[in-house]
Structure 1
Amino acid sequence: MIDPLAEVVTLLQPDATTSKAVSGAGAWRLRRTDVGQPFYCVVVEGGCRLEMVGHEPAVLTQGDFVLIPAAHDFTFSSVAPPAPGYYTEPVTLGSGEVRLGAPGEPREVHFLVGHCVFRSPDAALLVSLLPRLVHVRGEARLANLVGMVGDECRETRPARELVLARLLEVLFIEALRSTTSTAASPGLLRGLADPRVASAIRRMHERPGHAWTVAELAYEASLSRSTFFDRFRRTVGTAPMEYLLTWRMALAQNLLRQRQSRIAEVAKLVGYGSASTFSVAFARHVGVPPGQFAETQTRT
């Protein structure tokens, strides 16, 4: 059986490249504006508060994992935040740990933050299939991984950074596949958590070259056309045909990059009856014609 999440993650090529231990005490607030970069946070001890545009403020506690696939403007703060408009200047301690709030007080929260890198050139296209925010809590497997991350943070063992990077990669994938208990915003995860919508998504991934219609996909989901359309858009955050187009374009870019198929063959594999129709759609979605895209990939 085709696994849509595995396909997306495989094409994304996630790699946890940077991590930083952060502690806080007293009242503090830190604003992040790392536009477009994948951001994650693991709460090792204590708790903190996350505020992100478009989402209700959330208190993160020990064992929580947060992933923002394309981070924009958001803030972390103490559970009881300081006055509005007050932001804390981070201080880097001799150990390399970043301190927020009262420097001389015992720490009240300890968390690990960092950036992932999606090594796929199609990252922006693929990230659009993921939710804007993933917040995982209460997952036993994730709790074990978070515990191992915390253990590595506290110790100074050989190859510590390498082990942390590998653990965080696994944590990232585990978080994405914890769909049934993940408080995720609309996207692929919530779609796969809905059995009816998931049936349609899997069929699109199994046969991306088929000339799917909303009516056919609704039949696969055992729903009426209107109910399916509304349910899909509500859970995935986009209309069924828009999702299908995004996935087809991601597959097309991957095929063109491999240089193993001609443009006409790629067009057929992703559901277009002619190379010219495919070229128009590809250029509109990606920004350049498929031939130019393939040449650029060869040069790089």
Structure 2
Amino acid sequence: MHDPLALVIGLLQPSAALSKLVTASGCWAVRPPGMGPFYAALLEGNCALSITGRVPVRLGEGDFMLIPAAEDFKVASLIPPPDGRVIEPVEIRPGVFHLGEPGAPDTRMLVGYCAFKSNDAALLVSLLPELVVVRGERRLTTLVELLSEEARAERPGRDEVVARLLEVLLIEAFRATAGPSAAPGLLRGLADERLAATLRRMHGEPSRPWTVGALAREAALSRSTFFDRFRREVGVSPMEYLSGWRMAIAKDLLRGEGVSVSEVAQRVGYSSSSTFSVAFTRQVGASPTTYARGQAR
């Protein structure tokens, strides 16, 4: 059975960009530079996470946070600096940074940035939550520790190991927050038993000539009930979701070598190359041939 979450994470092609240990004491606040997806595991102490437009979140020892795409956020001590200023962390030794007042730290956290190498990252990230907070899950802290250790090592195969650890970390983080309370998107859809069956079929068999009626039968729901439920839980209509998924796969295939446009069209469920080319050009802004040529360069 195909796992939609694992397929999405795999297509994102995560790679590590930066990993470090941050210690802090007293009053402090930092605004990370928005280098890409940000994650942190609190090893000791407390802090507050503030994202523009959201209620601040308090985090404590053993908690994990992941921000896949937010550009404007701040992490601070529970009592922030009185003047509201943010400060730059000071590197006290390679890979270790300090925030706030000198002296023994009362907060320690492992933080990192990763990059999504997929050209379709924006579409794929839109299927996932804007913020993930997991409380007291030791598995996630262990994965962050392994990532940090491996990122600093100069061992053979390091990049491949880091990429696989990142995939596991992201899957663990996202599935820990799946459920009816999640924001509309892939995770909330997977929490619905009927819709999960349909999502797995869409992801596992994108070449099938799916219709809303056929997808509704997979969910054992009437066509109208399925359509309304899918749009409410996933955030887009079934055919919009399917089209986006097909184009994500098509882009991935076109980035490879030796795969013709007609073969790509067949593998993502289009009856002819011309029909596929029209749909691809409408969504991507370039024909499949032009896109493939650009990726080759």
Give the TM-score normalised by the residue count of structure 2. 0.84
**Distance in 2 of aligned mates of 1:110 and 1:61:** 10
> 1:68: how far off?
1.8
| Aligned partners of 2:227 and 2:238 also within 8 Å | yes
| Counterpart residue identity of residue 195, structure 2 | V
2:12 aligns to what? 12
Match of 1:195 among 193, 196, 200: 193
Change (3 A) 1:281 1:144: same
> 1:214: how far off?
2.9
**Distance in 1 of aligned mates of 2:257 and 2:291:** 11
**Distance in 2 of aligned mates of 1:167 and 1:173:** 11
1:95-110 pair list within 5 angstroms: 96-104=95-103, 106-110=104-108
Aligned residues: 292
Match of 1:257 among 249, 255, 258: 255
**Distance in 2 of aligned mates of 1:83 and 1:280:** 57
1:68 aligns to what? 67
**Distance in 2 of aligned mates of 1:203 and 1:14:** 24
> 1:202: how far off?
0.6
1:284 aligns to what? 282
**Distance in 2 of aligned mates of 1:212 and 1:282:** 17
Structure 1 runs not aligned, ≥5 long: none
**Distance in 2 of aligned mates of 1:234 and 1:291:** 36
Instruction: Name the SS for the 2:255 alignment partner.
Output: helix
| Aligned partners of 1:24 and 1:101 also within 8 Å | yes
**Distance in 2 of aligned mates of 1:167 and 1:260:** 26
| Aligned partners of 2:132 and 2:177 also within 8 Å | no
> 1:205: how far off?
1.1
| Counterpart residue identity of residue 11, structure 1 | L
| Aligned partners of 2:180 and 2:192 also within 8 Å | no
Change (3 A) 1:274 1:115: same
**Distance in 1 of aligned mates of 2:246 and 2:154:** 44
2:121 aligns to what? 123
Change (3 A) 1:98 1:281: same
Instruction: Name the SS for the 2:194 alignment partner.
Output: helix
**Distance in 2 of aligned mates of 1:158 and 1:248:** 38
| Counterpart residue identity of residue 88, structure 1 | I
Give the TM-score normalised by the residue count of structure 1. 0.83
**Distance in 2 of aligned mates of 1:92 and 1:204:** 48
